[in-house]
Structure 1
């Protein structure tokens, strides 16, 4: 028995032969099962839409994985509505997840599940609340905006990745005001302020730009917070922040070039290219790598005079741009 399972003999061609043999056996067994009276399976297969998941080419062959979504059964959605009103926690969670999956496959008629999902979101059970919030986000249920906004000031950490992006997508003014106040609050927790800057940048809010500039220039703040503020500025501007970048480059802070590069990531124009060239020639390899990639995106010809300088640098991004 040992010789059949040794590492030496279990080669890739041998694996292929095993798979072909299994497929031949499956081809012989399937008609036998059908003749044994399992015609119901064939009928169900005819009524079921199958989605075949692609297999990575670098793995051994494996049987086709199939997900079956019955979108022709009129009883499924009413059963889901009833299950969401059930007292069983696990059933509510599984039902919410099933609705999200069905929506991803384009199942029609899920609108009737929105109100039961909102009621499940208002549940006292944290797991049910999370499952409902996740599904309400994925199915883009705008009717959930009001309960989402009500929970926003005291939102649990695990709910935030589902509730806040939905409110951003729905352009919630309540959420915008809260993000502005959090970004400007020096006493707010680090992750809360970082998240606020992220959503303000994604919103494109111009009113809170000054708060972001102040944080970027404040050397007493952590690099994580200053970086989040710099990225939010880049999301909101395509010009006009060259003076801020210059101030960062002229500062005594060792992180100045990196933050200046982050600020300029959305900028274009000759002044921006000059600043990026200066950053590339600085001693900060990380900032120089980012600046080189950005300058290459703006104008590859602007990088050509720098090739001999950057190809010997330690930073991988710099060498890659040079190549």
Structure 2
């Protein structure tokens, strides 16, 4: 983890209260940019043309608007075999990226002529464009293989656009043990991707073969069968699910779950703890799709799965299922047990469920998880406490924070948990602010001060919380407004005060109602200092100062102006005389 890798990604009240415009940027393509590239394409100097084509290819990757005018010149470059390979291949790549179907005939001509590199660049695009001209080329290639890469393209082309006979040719190739196993699998995977029916006879024969045969069998059996083939498809796929092949089991389980979840449940002893995530996911999906009150506990066991995506999926399913009245009581019980579980994985998921299902009764258990040694749990517990907002947790949470204060100030936090504990405190401080918990003020003031050992994010959250707690009250603790003003106006160069801290201090002063001439002057000063080229921008101090001035004085200010940007720098750009003038 690093300082920016938050456990809780998008739920930070101090960035949402007050509501401000999010930063906006507008893509601007200079008027002379693309014309400059077109002019370079027409140059007699090969190096300039290569730079131009590569620049257009880069722009195509970034989906720069207006590139359609480059299509015809690029096609012309590809068509002229007198051009260098680098020039033609780069132009072809740019055309593929632009999905320029106008280039089909030129691409087909290059493939027909046996241009290996061009085939690698353009054939997948020709497949997408359903180019019939390549079907015979692909058929002949399979009959007389020369390149693994070209064979792979042929398999996908024929599977995607070919006839039933072509599909059978691929199946025969996959079945033939005389062929290279890697290519047999490529052919079978192409069938799995594009065929509208399974090839069960061939799959059955391979399902008792080698490990490679089992994977190929699973691919050939994976398309959804027609009604008359379903019994046979179930039998073959279940056999493959129970096989010793890690990959075949996952493929077969994925196939069955798409159309027959009951057949997956019949393999519970095999799939429930399978080492292949795909196999487990198929089983868990079957549990979800057939869930009942008496199977909730079985589904909930996967809140402890080793795979984070799978356990998160189960959590989301359980939250969704809680909308059903007959299932909700069981899911509430699962939530309560999860928060008090011995497994950190289950604890984390239970905390999320408690928040989404508004189960405030788990708040006291969540307090105990603040001292967890797992970053996922200690942060999520603080977030859950903030979201649940149970008054009885405020004093214990403050005691916990106060108890770790010296670890912060003495830089003695566990190194592997340092960032996570900072994030944890930020959530707890925001909770104190949202719930206006005045006993936390002393600690929050200590964490708002500029201490080298304290990170900016936790200091900003403390300043934000002070503004919320003392909203509309300047006299309850006069030292707070002084502290916020001092932090706002701190211009010491080493170490400099953080812009985010200054912003939260500006907002806090406005909330408290500190409309002294000094405060107003400081807010105007920092608002003007943080303009972007004389215009209002999205600098966090600029937007914070503007909001504060509006709250305190009623002044209105223009909204921030979106910043222009381009996707450069480019290998070729229009000449700008201003740059030459500025360099002198």
Alignment of 1:131-280 (within 5 A): 131-153=90-112, 154-157=114-117, 159-185=118-144, 187-239=145-197, 241-250=199-208, 252-269=209-226, 270=230, 271-280=232-241
Assess if the C-alpha contact under 8 Å between 1:204 and 1:236 holds in 2. Answer: no
Which position in structure 1 is the counterpart of 2:500? Answer: none
TM, length-normalised to structure 2? 0.40
Measured at CA, do residues 179 and 225 of structure 1 come closer, stay the same or move farther in structure 2, by a change above 3 Å? Answer: same
Assess if the C-alpha contact under 8 Å between 2:241 and 2:250 holds in 1. Answer: yes
Deviations 1:231-261 (A, max 9, x none): 22223423251112112224x4342221111
- Please tell me whether residue 311 in structure 1 is matched to residue 300 in structure 2: no
Assess if the C-alpha contact under 8 Å between 1:137 and 1:166 holds in 2. Answer: yes
How far the C-alpha of 1:225 sits from its partner, in A, is 0.9
Which position in structure 2 is the counterpart of 1:24? Answer: none
Measured at CA, do residues 232 and 85 of structure 1 come closer, stay the same or move farther in structure 2, by a change above 3 Å? Answer: same
Which position in structure 2 is the counterpart of 1:115? Answer: 72
Counterpart Cα distance in 2 of 1:310 and 1:112: 55
Assess if the C-alpha contact under 8 Å between 2:141 and 2:151 holds in 1. Answer: yes
Per the alignment, in what secondary structure is the counterpart of residue 267 of structure 2? helix
Per the alignment, in what secondary structure is the counterpart of residue 244 of structure 1? helix
TM, length-normalised to structure 1? 0.69
- The total of aligned residue pairs comes to 259
Measured at CA, do residues 12 and 191 of structure 1 come closer, stay the same or move farther in structure 2, by a change above 3 Å? Answer: closer
Which position in structure 1 is the counterpart of 2:253? Answer: 292
Counterpart Cα distance in 2 of 1:93 and 1:120: 11
Which position in structure 2 is the counterpart of 1:42? Answer: none
Which position in structure 1 is the counterpart of 2:85? Answer: 126
How far the C-alpha of 1:103 sits from its partner, in A, is 8.7
Measured at CA, do residues 89 and 69 of structure 1 come closer, stay the same or move farther in structure 2, by a change above 3 Å? Answer: farther
Any gaps of 5 or more consecutive residues in structure 2?
Answer: 11-22, 285-584
Measured at CA, do residues 80 and 292 of structure 1 come closer, stay the same or move farther in structure 2, by a change above 3 Å? Answer: same
Quote the RMSD (CA, aligned, Å). 3.0
Measured at CA, do residues 149 and 239 of structure 1 come closer, stay the same or move farther in structure 2, by a change above 3 Å? Answer: closer
Counterpart Cα distance in 1 of 2:98 and 2:224: 35
Assess if the C-alpha contact under 8 Å between 2:202 and 2:217 holds in 1. Answer: yes
Per the alignment, in what secondary structure is the counterpart of residue 107 of structure 1? coil
